[in-house]
Amino acid sequence: MNALAAYNKGATGAGINLAVIDSGIDLQSQEFSGRLSSASQDVAGNASIADEGGHGTAVAFAAAGRRNGTGSQGVAFDATLTVLRADRPGSCASSGDAGGDTGCKFGTDAITKGVDAARAAGARVINLSLGGTTMPQSLIDAIGRATARGIIVVIAAGNDGSDNPDAFTSVASSAAARNLVIVAGSVGTNDVISSFSDKAGTGAAHYLTAVGEKVRAPNQSGAAYLWSGTSFAAPQISGAIALLAQAFPNLSGAQIVDLLFRTARDVGAAGVDSVYGNGVLDLTKAFQPVGTTSVAGSHIGVSLASNATLSAPMGDATVGSLGAVILDSYNRAFAIDLAGTIDRAGPQPVLAGVLQNRQRNLAMATGDMTVSLTLAPRANGDIALQRSMMTDTQATTARAIAGAVTQRLGEKTRFGFAFSQASGMIGAQIAGQTQPAFLVAGQTGLGFDGIARSAGALRQEVGGVGLTATIETGDVTARRDALLAGLSPYRRSGYDRVTVMADKRWGGLATTLSLSNLREADTLLGARFDGGLGAARARSWFVDMDARWTMGAGWTLGGSWRHGWTDAALRGGMAGSGRLTTAAFAADVGKNGVFGRDSFGLRIAQPLRVARGGIDYRLPTNYDYATLTVTDWTMQRLNLAPQGREIDVEARYRVLLGRGDLQTNLFWRRDPGNYAALPADVGGALRYTIGF
């Protein structure tokens, strides 16, 4: 029944009263020492509860035999046993053999007394490894009194190999049962119905199987036998009930029955069927969260698989542990390390997004106005208006118009706006700034995947200093875990960015200083936090400094530096916040006219990376079943600074050749995506461009 998962969670059956109505028990056995309830009694007129046939001892052992590291053990090995001997006096001793019970007879009056005695003793489950004809009303009423207290009754299906269980089990479908009666069938260790076992048939809705073949247990003299029959499947189900009742004291009898049926292994025909009923008992599944899960002490849903996806600036961050208590749909408490549900985006190929095959760039200038568009072919060969400067992620998510318009207003004022282009591009265009044609190194942008929707810029020259203000709106993109029909493969959430920039030239030296504010609606530097880790929104400030020196003789030297501070706030009910510090840099050297009509450049860069910081969470760490409340909350840190540090080195060479120009780029990326364990990423591109 895969019980090891239950034992690993500390389930033993301790403190749970398990009643066995059978032929008594071996009073000399050490298997039950100290665990026999004082309410144990003979209910059939025998002299004591001492077993004469062996069946009762074997059944009690299968349910609750001790665990001592030797031989076999019962399912709920620490449970308290209420033994109710119900065999007709003398019937077991008269015709049974040493390992059997063929002579034992049980009167329904005695069984009725046993059910009432079990109820009075406070049993959580009553095991009836007995069978026969239809129950008399008196026994049905006794079972009704037990189920009214929430007591579960487990009855063996019978050993005739019939298509339907014994008539004795028909009480399971009666109103008196209150859906708290389980009919126990037998399977072998291969999950195939035993040849002797009565099948689910008319009792399928209440039928559950467990291994009832060759169950090792002692008889009334302590000798071990291999017992077979639905009588030995039933006590395993009863023991499983005791484990669940102890481990999850909030569960009612009805919930335990529902849980066992819901988590049973589905064998035979799909769903509840006429052979296996609800399936085969599986405690591993029963001891896992079932249904919807939430953070204890809240209504915040939590996933057992994925609650966050980190972005490239966070790389291989060793997030630490985030121990928390969650509740499943039965309000059972489970411990979980939420850090284990954090995914990482992983490094992405860098060339695919910047090389757009068969792309056509159109530019037009008239007076003080310039207009530019980018066109790219569709899969069918038609030309479509498409986004400029798209990453691979962007290129597969949408096809749309991309363009920019700039206009001069007088000598010192310019403005521009763009569609599907970032504000940095339009800002640089109206400021007359240029950058060397590197494909990989230093092309950080936001530092994570995003698509600009629109941007605007206004520039004013004041006393030799250019002041530029830009604004940009767009979407942060992240790949969906599972793609549903009709949905984009990417999730989007909005961002807004405002930048104020000052630029100044001193001869051949051009400098820029800018301050940016980035507001993300549902992400943190492109990372997504969902469910159990809350929904994060972030506001970032970035300071950027750029300088480019034209030294003469075709030589240029440039560099850029970025430092950022990001404040994260959780919403949706989760308590937590944090601050991240980020950094990026680039430096390059270039030469025009190395051999004539050509140019060469070399750049080293670090993309945006979290230098330090994380999110502090207030998480539930202890749950009290007595009050059904969280009793302890603990502040825990989610570290988002990676161990890896990506460094990009790229060389470029361009030469005018024929009607066009030939461009070559070679790059090397250490710790790609800020993953220290990954090998270096090496690549190159060769492009030939012809104007038209």
Residue 212: half-sphere exposure toward Cβ, Cα within 13 Å: 31
- The whole-angstrom separation of Cα 261 and Cα 266 is 10
Q: Is 301 left (phi over 0), alpha (psi -120 to 50) or beta?
A: beta
Residue 666's SS3 state is strand
Does residue 231 have an active-site annotation?
yes
Does residue 252 have an active-site annotation?
no
DSSP annotation of 487 reads S
Does residue 299 have an active-site annotation?
no
Q: Which amino acid is at 124?
A: R
**From the centroid of its chain, how far is CA 495?**
26
Q: Which amino acid is at 377?
A: P
- The whole-angstrom separation of Cα 605 and Cα 128 is 75
Given 22, 26, 328, 475, which residue is catalytic? 22
Q: Is 346 left (phi over 0), alpha (psi -120 to 50) or beta?
A: left
- CA dihedral for 176, 180, 183, 184, sign (positive or negative): negative
- The whole-angstrom separation of Cα 627 and Cα 330 is 15
Given 29, 40, 42, 55, which residue is catalytic? 55
Given 197, 231, 516, 560, which residue is catalytic? 231
- The whole-angstrom separation of Cα 293 and Cα 300 is 8
**From the centroid of its chain, how far is CA 472?**
34
Residue 608's SS3 state is strand
- CA dihedral for 155, 158, 162, 168, sign (positive or negative): negative
At a CB cut-off of 8 Å and minimum separation 6, what does 632 contact? 620, 621, 622
- The whole-angstrom separation of Cα 260 and Cα 241 is 8
Q: Which residues are catalytic?
A: 22, 55, 231
